[in-house]
Amino acid sequence: MNEIIEVGLQRRALLTAEKAILVGISRLRGEALRSMRELAQLAISAGAVPVDVLIQRRKTPQQATYLGKGKLEELKALRLSADAEIVLFDAELSPVQVSNLIDQLDCKVLDRTERILDIFAPHATSREGQLQGELAQLSYMAPRLVGKGHMMDRIAGADGGGVGGVGVRGPGETKLETDRRALRRKMSHLKQKLQEVRGHREVEKRARDRSGLPLAALVGYTNAGKSTLLNALVGSDEVNAHDRLFETLDTTIRKADIEGAELLISDTVGFIHNLPEDLFAAFMATFEQVQEADVIVHVLDASALWAVTERAASEQLLDRLGVADKPTILVLNKWDKIAGTVQEKRILTQMPDGLPVAAAKHVGLENLAAQIAQAAYARFVPLSLRIPYDRMAVVQACRDRGRIIQIAYEPDYVAADVEVEPELLDTLKPFVIAPG
């Protein structure tokens, strides 16, 4: 498990952060290593540093304390010897388990879902993202008020009254001492605000629809390099791109000129294995961009040891969103990190449908751009038109619901080569002289 701890030690800036022990249950061979390494990255992204790992082999968690009696005693000793302030579990703990574990361990007891929520809190920048993050946190917190308040009391008593650090910050933290009725009122208010914000977003969506530009949605496992790829494709550095989980929470849409074709590209929130239900529901807005897309660009970190598992987790979520049948391009990003290695051969064998790319170094982008443009406009119909000057609204319709490839203003008519949505064919039929 030293490899997992090295994930934290590589980040020197975090050496003074709160120390965390990672705890999980192993059901299948190899499952624990992948899952715990992801948990270590979640801990780092939330501001903690993993210092040790404890895994118990058992089929199901113990109902009262998650771990069996012997392993729990081992965890207590491990926490004391490591002087750890946090014990982080690779599961969603029940309120009873949290309360019992706090009594036994006398420290912060946090779970995987809570870590994700803690990361989401400071990363949302749009009004909608902030409301969604707060609502997801309150939904998670509602059944856990008693255990959470107990942990706050224990922490406060231990440090003289100061409360802070990982697991006790972010939207909703001032509600920890309120009753469930006040919490429900707050959640109802947030849902109402979200509806108002979504109304504004619907107006923006209609404006995008009127542009007639197809949409390509970048999706994939968190930290696969989607934001870096978006910047490379549109030729700017406007979108934050850092080596952290969930760096992107709010959907970003940019217009790009790719292979002579204009289209929109969206960067969406990163996927993760076993995405909590509350987060799936709360961040449905960013997922709606995927549902509206003409083509999905599935970005995968080819250098990740569990790239195949991460692809499966992302495809499972795409299926859950009902978009598994959409045209999809698989991008094997960060290819420069594995070029000439055993990993390269393994990935090519396991994913022969993937397109090797190194977005940070602008390698492989021309081939990718060509595939995106071809897929994005695949459903558009090419036509050559002759449009009388008294029917110029037809030209505008072609712009609104397609694209004009070439246009010439002749003495008696406008000659235009266009690509348009199939739904526009009946309207254009009187002006068609030939397929494009």
Range with lowest mean pLDDT among 37-41, 60-64, 168-172: 168-172
Is the C-alpha dihedral spanning 224, 230, 235, 240 positive or negative?
A: negative
- The verdict on 8 and 151 lying in the same domain is yes
Closest CA to 47 of 5, 22, 19: 19
- The verdict on 354 and 402 lying in the same domain is no
**Boundary-marking domain end, from 376, 398, 422:** 376
> Is a pLDDT exceeding 80 seen at residue 251?
no
For 31-43, write each residue's pLDDT tens digit. 667 788 888 888 8
Residue 197's pLDDT band (cuts 50, 70, 90): confident
Residue 65 contacts residue 101 (beta carbons within 8 Å): yes
What pLDDT shows up at residue 398? 87
What b-and-e string marks burial along 293-313, b requiring 16 or more CB atoms within 10 Å of the CB? bbbbbbbbbbbbebbebbbeb
Mean pLDDT rounded to a whole number for the chain? 80
In a domain, 241, yes or no: yes
What pLDDT shows up at residue 118? 75
Residue 299's pLDDT band (cuts 50, 70, 90): very high
Instruction: State how far the alpha carbon of 356 is from the alpha carbons of 141, 235, 368, in Å.
Output: 42, 19, 9
For 386-396, write each residue's pLDDT tens digit. 999 999 999 98
- The verdict on 365 and 277 lying in the same domain is yes
Q: How many domains does the chain have?
A: 3
What pLDDT shows up at residue 245? 45
Residues 6 or more apart from 105 whose CB is under 8 A from it?
Answer: 75, 76, 79, 87
What pLDDT shows up at residue 428? 95
Largest CA distance in the chain: 90
Residue 267 contacts residue 230 (beta carbons within 8 Å): yes
In a domain, 202, yes or no: no
In a domain, 232, yes or no: yes
- The verdict on 357 and 221 lying in the same domain is yes
Selected residue with higher pLDDT from 233 and 45:
233
Q: Pinpoint the alpha helices (H) of 169-223.
A: 180-211
> Is a pLDDT exceeding 80 seen at residue 66?
yes
- The verdict on 260 and 362 lying in the same domain is yes
H or E element that contains 55 = strand 48-57
Range with lowest mean pLDDT among 1-10, 187-196, 224-233, 252-261: 1-10
> Is a pLDDT exceeding 70 seen at residue 210?
no
- The verdict on 53 and 120 lying in the same domain is yes
Task: Quote the percentage of the chain above a pLDDT of 70.
Answer: 74
What pLDDT shows up at residue 256? 83
Range with lowest mean pLDDT among 119-128, 204-213, 318-327, 362-371: 204-213
In a domain, 98, yes or no: yes
Q: How far apart are CA 81 and CA 77, in angstroms?
A: 6
3-state DSSP assignment of residue 328: strand
In a domain, 194, yes or no: no
For 113-151, write each residue's pLDDT tens digit. 888 877 776 666 667 777 877 887 888 877 776 555 555
- The verdict on 328 and 405 lying in the same domain is no
What angle, rounded to 10 degrees, do the helices at 180-211 and 284-292 form?
20
Residue 267 contacts residue 248 (beta carbons within 8 Å): yes
**Boundary-marking domain end, from 335, 352, 376:** 376
Domain carrying residue 409: 381-435
Across residues 333-343, what is the average pLDDT?
Answer: 94
